[in-house]
Amino acid sequence: MITGNSAKLQIGVESTYGTAATTTQEIQFVSESLRKNLNKKDEGVLTGGRSTSKSATLAKSTGGNLSFLARPDDLGYILGCLLGVEESPTLIAPSTTAYKHTYTALKVTDSARLPSLTVKIDRIKDIFVYAGVKIDSVSFSAQPEDFLKLDVSLFGKSETGSGTLATLTPSALKAFRFAWGSLTYKSGTVGDITSIKLNYNNNLVKNIQTTGSGYYYYEPDPAARDIQVELEALYNADVTAFETAYSDDSLAKLELTFTSEEEADTVKNIPYKLIFTLNNVQITDYYANVGGADAIKAQIKAKAVEKGTDELITVELHNTRSTKYIS
């Protein structure tokens, strides 16, 4: 009997959309649901018999979800392909081994597009190769006594079998954890967060078929980015700013940080770190109710909005890699 515990998953960034790349990172994952999707349609003609006519495949694609833990090295590929722009890494002073990777949201043009991935999955019976895979959305979530988890929604071009895996070693680094997370809003630290979720949605335009794309869909591009944060916090003075902003429609900066207990530079004591900065967020929902004898908690929802030339979102990843994840 084949069990999932023996499965492996590897990814690589493509230089040409839809052309399978060499995989460069093996990721330990929790679950996956990537599959081939065939759009079939019958002719709709009268058969003169007892049922409908035979169907034909009119379009092909792949899609599904991937769930895994956020580790300081694996994560660079996901951030790069989700947001689309990665600056050249810079050393974190005074270190000579710890680097900062900075990601921002892509402004789409005819020549600037989100990077695509090749995903290879060893399901034991066969190794499946998914080419032209783009990230539609990612949910980053962390709960007490748990890890920072990623749920990634993918849309791809093609699936083939009989693939081969590269000889790669999964990350040995510890995943980021809820216990080492922190949040600031309007420059003030909110100390008693009890649940965190950040949803980034590219809203890929993925249903266009042209005479040039054949059976497949035209290379998907992002539409308006939808970035939302859902928080739960103890109902105390820290949440007053959220309550006020919900009433007056004001904008403010929100920063979410996860710090690893492991260090990228053990001499200078510089930890692995992940920082989300949303320069202009609007509080879209806020309430705190009594549901019984338990602690009262505030429920907060926020959305990143466009304002002038400010970056919509900036993500920093601190690790030991000196080169970019995407070109």
Q: What is the pLDDT of residues 219-264, one digit of tens each?
A: 999 999 999 999 999 999 999 999 999 999 999 999 999 999 999 9
- Cα gap 146→179, rounded to integer Å: 8
* Model pLDDT, residue 316: 98
Mean pLDDT of the 303-323 span? 97
141 confidence band (pLDDT: 50, 70, 90): very high
* pLDDT tens digit sequence for 88-105: 999 999 999 999 999 999
Residue 112 has pLDDT above 90, yes or no: no
Structure tokens given for 226: 């939808």
Q: What are the boundaries of each domain within the chain?
A: 8-35+59-319
The gap from C-alpha 189 to its chain's centroid, in whole angstroms, comes to 25
* Model pLDDT, residue 311: 97
Burial 79-96 (b: 16+ CB within 10 A, else e): bbbbbbbbeebeebeebe
Phi, psi for 72 (deg, rounded to 5) = -65, -20
- Cα gap 286→241, rounded to integer Å: 11
* Model pLDDT, residue 111: 83
- Cα gap 318→265, rounded to integer Å: 10
Burial 183-206 (b: 16+ CB within 10 A, else e): bebeeeebebbebbbbbbbbebeb
* Model pLDDT, residue 299: 98
Residue 327 has pLDDT above 90, yes or no: no
Q: Which residues contact 128 (CB under 8 A, 6 or more apart)?
A: 34, 120, 121, 159, 160, 161, 163
50 confidence band (pLDDT: 50, 70, 90): confident
- Cα gap 137→78, rounded to integer Å: 10
* pLDDT tens digit sequence for 66-78: 999 999 999 999 9
* Model pLDDT, residue 14: 98
Q: CA separation (Å) from 96 to 118, 319, 320?
A: 32, 12, 9
pTM for this prediction: 0.96
* Model pLDDT, residue 191: 87
* Model pLDDT, residue 46: 87
- Cα gap 325→74, rounded to integer Å: 10
176 three-class SS: coil
DSSP state of 216: B
- Cα gap 278→307, rounded to integer Å: 11
* pLDDT tens digit sequence for 31-42: 999 999 999 999
Residue 187 has pLDDT above 90, yes or no: no
Contact 314, 79 (CB under 8 A): no
Residue 52 has pLDDT above 90, yes or no: no
Mean pLDDT of the 306-314 span? 97
Residue 109 has pLDDT above 90, yes or no: no
Q: Which residues contact 194 (CB under 8 A, 6 or more apart)?
A: 144, 232, 233, 234, 297
User: Tokens 């833990």 — which residue?
Assistant: 69
* pLDDT tens digit sequence for 158-175: 999 999 999 999 999 999
Phi, psi for 245 (deg, rounded to 5) = -65, -30
